[in-house]
Structure 1
Amino acid sequence: MTDPQITSTLDTTGKCCPMPLVETNRAIRALQPGDVLEIVATDLGTRTDIPSWCARTGHRLLSTSESGGTLRYYVQKV
């Protein structure tokens, strides 16, 4: 898959649960349907939290990546 066209980036590095999810929820509300939010996190709990949140809210998790302890999620607002 090619990299998605990112509309906005949310940096939650150094923050622990529940803040990455709280801030993700706030950030996605500011976007338009079809926009893509890149979430940057270091909290390993986001590995399950972000996919579960997407399933619950209906937003599309386009892809994830991990490098050097930094996790990146690409979520498309529906």
Structure 2
Amino acid sequence: MTNEELNALNVDKSVDARGTACPGPLLEAKKAIGTIDEGQIMEVLSADEGTKVDIPKLCRKQGHEYLGTVEESGYFKIYLKKQ
């Protein structure tokens, strides 16, 4: 998906983990995935570089769909769909 398509998604859950360092964003994302339903979209906001790698890995391990990452000024928006 393009950045424009990702930014236009209707997000069901947003997790703001910008104030946490690794592994904080990943742990917050794991916990939040359990609170949304299958087919819903979650956005993770993180300033930690490792999160760009960790969230796609989490998606592969747990069978969720990684939709993409948008780099903003000083942080990342990472999108996934629960499967």
Tell me the TM-score normalised to structure 2 length.
0.88
How many pairs are equivalent? 78
| Structure 2 partner of 1:53 | 58
Instruction: Return the offset for 1:4.
Output: 2.0
Q: Deviations over 1:22-61 (max 9, x none)?
A: 1100001000000001100001110111111111111111
2:73 aligned residue: 68
Letter in 1 for 2:51: T
Gaps of 5+ in 2: none
- Aligned twin of 1:18: 23
CA shift, 1:14, in A, is 2.0
Aligned-residue CA RMSD (Å) = 1.0
Relative to its length, the structure with more strand (as a share) is 1
Q: State percent identity of aligned pairs.
A: 35
Runs ≥4 residues deviating over 3 A: none
Unaligned runs of 5+ in 1: none
Secondary structure of 1:63's aligned partner? strand
